[in-house]
Amino acid sequence: MTAFENNIDITEDLIAEHGLSADEYQRVLDIMGRTPTLTELGIFSVMWSEHCSYKSSRLHLKKLPTEAPWVICGPGENAGIIDIGDGQAAIFKMESHNHPSYIEPYQGAATGVGGILRDVFTMGARPVANMNALRFGEPEHPKTRHLLSGVVEGIGGYGNCVGVPTVGGETNFHPSYNGNILVNAMTVGLADADNIFYCAAAGVGNPVVYVGSKTGRDGIHGATMASAEFTEDSEEKRPTVQVGDPFTEKLLIEACLELMQKDAIVAIQDMGAAGLTSSSVEMASKGDVGFELNLNNVPQREEHMTPYEMMLSESQERMLMVLKPGHEGEAEAIFRKWDLDFAVIGEITDTGNLTLTFDGDVVADIPVAPLTDLAPEYDRPWVPSEPKADIKAEDVAAPADLGDALLKMMGSPHLASRKWIWEQYDHMVMGDTIQRPGGDAAMVRVHGTEKGLAISTDCTPRYCYADPVQGGRQAVAETWRNITATGATPLAITNCLNFGNPERPEIMGQFVECLKGMGEACIALDYPVVSGNVSLYNETNGTGIHPTPAIGGVGLIADTSKMTTIAPKAEGEVLVLIGGGQGHLGASLYLDIIESREDGGAPEVDLDKERHYGDFVREQILGSKVSACHDISDGGLLVALTEMSLASSIGFDIDLGDNLPIHAAAFGEDQARYILSVTAAHAEQIVKDAQDENIPASILGKTQGTDLIVKGQMNIPLQQVLDLHRNWMPEYMRAEHSA
């Protein structure tokens, strides 16, 4: 064997620093049959990190349903792919950038957006929409403003520049995120179904090509960082943060999509976490081939970079491709035109090994199959979560004044308008945003067609904490409902599973049970998982975040002229409630905001009802009988109605009856419910049709005037709600720099 760059002793400390356990290191020795070089150790370390290997989660992820006739490609590739008819495909995925965003909110969030965009255009899709699911600590926490401001600016800074609209998302505040914010970004792209690109390399002798930005020493060990629990001093250590360059990303998108129109690419893979290592290993492994790379040919930004550094660098805006022989010139011309680096750095071999040379020496030579196939997989011990005691409405004090309670809720951090956020995002660029942020799901038209993609991200962490199974179901069901409320048919989901330290059995229990609930919902709703991401160790000093399985759903409407929004179109429309309920107050926002209590069980999610009621609602919308539709989620019925009023500037006059205590009727968070606003002519018929199908349906009242009226209970001007709702976040952020 040739001389290895092996003058560095692989000590126990070094192994531990690389996050490998003694068992894991023994496995490395078994695979290699010798002591690994430092570069090899680095490669094993990142490939076997939680972030890349999914070692704690893989076993459970396998249980998620991933198939449906319209699924072209499920989990395992860069992103999931569904068929949206007419030879077109939607490609999407969600990913976390939690730890980097906590350390450097602007760049962390920006590079999160960059990374997820690459996952999508790698596969041949033009990105058409971005979403973001954000969780911050409590508003009073001294870091929250700074983090919120930086994250939002970073997401906007990157997405706006690349020219992909950021069309929606969700934002929560809770003390459990004080030391671990969550920044989950999702991208949806469009491709021709017959021009999709995968990462499996093939063709011995084919050139391996590096394109994009040069490699620097950015984020070395980023992947291992994302897999380690935060301690107080990791903030101090300030690991090298990656800086994003959206300008280069935009050029990379255009150059890649241009090359993809030619018959030149065998395989392509973005360099995400663990950069050159994970991209080359994945391409080789999927294709059952070897890679030989000459690291001297890697475009470098800094001097004297070592093989170790090059392999572990997480410099952004880079891609790896395998080209068909003889197409190098054609490809190079395109990348040069876009002012991007282009370098042939190696070729495919039949050895099955990842072989790296540098200055004429072999510095790593690892058999790829065992590196991936023998990656550790753990069945971590877990315990089921204690079910929280249920709370009866009778045991919760009724509000002294319903109007005051509503005002307090609508102006609270939990329900206040997120306009301050989405106004910093270009949500209209590309000219196809036909449902802007502020409604249930966002809708982007499929360019040049009448079709539309509805997109929604949701998760209610307080439910997941109270009852992981119900919470898992609910997160999936809420995206499904949001998409349904626009008239679109929900087709598939992506997810980002944010949890605490999986080595603690309670946390692992939350994970397992949330996944169980998610899986049940996916099956019941015919709504498979096609891609996703896991982020564990979101924990500081032993305090974990609320379990947060963020779900990103995508649906399709064939005729966008039938789309509904949450805004009633006129006064005098009839407000119809679809779905029943007992006024469930456990784990509700009412309890939290009005009673300052976070206890109680999560509402039950009856998946058969979800499916049945939702399908009925969609049918009414597509039958053009509905003027506006909103699902009922956070804050319950009265909050949902108020949101419809805020969107339309039309008040309402309703009767909540006296079957339930008023706070339960107004603010109970029972699931599988929608409000339809319909013309008087359709109202009776819809109620009758629903009841014929055994679906609870009732008339609440009508849209009217500029006041919000609940018979015998409340009469407040819409303007008053509007002011509180709209002003909370701008006013909160105005104090960003106060000491």
Ligand X SMILES: Nc1ncnc2c1ncn2[C@@H]1O[C@H](COP(=O)(O)OP(=O)(O)O)[C@@H](O)[C@H]1O
Catalytic residues: 51, 97
Taking the C-alpha atoms of residue 68 and residue 61, their distance in angstroms, rounded to an integer, is: 17
132 binds ligand X (CB under 6 A): yes
Is residue 439 near ligand X by the rule CB under 6 A? Answer: yes
Say whether residue 282 binds ligand X (CB under 6 A). no
- Work out the angle between the directed axes of helices 246-260 and 144-162 (0-180°, nearest 10): 40
Q: Count CB-CB contacts under 10 A for residue 499.
A: 27
> In 459-538, which ranges are E strands?
489-498, 529-535
**CB of 161 vs another protein, minimal distance in Å:** 4
**Residue 248 interacting with another protein (CB under 8 A):** yes
Among the residue ranges 164-172, 318-326, 380-388, 717-725, the one whose residues contact ligand X (CB under 6 A): 164-172
Token digits of residue 655 = 């009767």
With a CB cutoff of 8 Å and minimum separation 6, the contacts of 688 are none
Give per-residue burial for 607-617: e unless 16+ CB within 10 Å, then b: bebbbbbbebb
CB 433 within 8 A of CB 422: no
Q: Which two tokens stand for residue 493?
A: 């989901």
Q: Is 418 in the site for ligand X (CB under 6 A)?
A: yes
Strands 529-535 and 489-498: parallel
Single-letter amino acid code for the residue at 78: N
Task: Report residue 483 as tokens.
Answer: 């998409």
Site map 598..637 versus Mg ion, x via CB under 5 A: ---------------------------------x------
Query: Using the rule CB under 8 A, which residue among 28, 162, 522, 716 binds another protein?
Result: 162
Q: Does 168 bind ligand X (CB under 6 A)?
A: yes
Smallest distance, Mg ion to C-beta of residue 694, A: 24
Q: Compute φ and ψ for 682, nearest 5 degrees.
A: -95, -15
Q: Which does 240 bind (CB under 5 to 8 A by kind): another protein, ligand X, Mg ion, none?
A: another protein
Does 633 bind another protein (CB under 8 A)? Our answer is: no
- Binding residue for Mg ion, selected from 45, 353, 433, 482, defined by CB under 5 A: 482
Cβ closer to another protein: 250 or 630? 250
In total, the chain counts a number of residues equal to: 739
- The minimum distance between CB 108 and another protein, in angstroms, equals 10
Residue 78 phi, psi dihedral angles, 5° rounding? -60, -35
Indicate whether 160 belongs to the interface with another protein (CB under 8 A). Answer: yes
Which of Mg ion, another protein, ligand X, none is residue 217 near (CB under 5 to 8 Å by kind)?
Answer: another protein
Question: Which residue, among 14, 12, 36, has the nearest Cα to 22 in the 3D structure?
Answer: 12
CB of 574 to ligand X, least distance (A): 22
Closest separation in Å from C-beta 55 to ligand X: 31
Give 478 or 513: the residue with its C-beta nearer to Mg ion: 478
Query: Can residue 240 be called a binding residue for another protein (CB under 8 A)?
Result: yes
- Token look-up 């070897």 returns 290
Residue number with the smallest Cβ distance to Mg ion: 440
- Residue 132 sits in the site that holds another protein (CB under 8 A): no
Tokens at residue 182, please? 């969550």
Q: Which residues of 311-324 are buried (b: 16+ CB within 10 A; e: fewer)?
A: bbbbbbbbbbbbbb
Signed CA dihedral, 466, 467, 468, 474: sign only? negative
Identify the residue among 315, 510, 533, 642 touching another protein (CB under 8 A): 315
Sorted by sequence, the CB contacts under 8 Å of residue 669 that are 6+ apart come out as 584, 585, 587, 588, 589, 590, 603, 632, 633, 634, 635, 636
With CB cut-offs between 5 and 8 Å by kind, which of another protein, ligand X, Mg ion, none does residue 332 bind? Answer: none
Q: Is position 643 an interface residue for Mg ion (rule: CB under 5 A)? A: no
Question: 430 φ, ψ to 5°?
Answer: 90, -5
440 contacts Mg ion (rule: CB under 5 A): yes
Q: Which residues bind another protein (CB under 8 A)?
A: 103-104, 106-107, 153, 156-157, 160-163, 213, 216-218, 238, 240-248, 250-251, 301-302, 315-316, 338-339, 422-431, 433-434, 436, 445, 560-561, 735-739
Contacts to ligand X by CB under 6 A: 132, 134, 168-171, 418, 421-422, 437-440, 442, 458, 482, 633-634
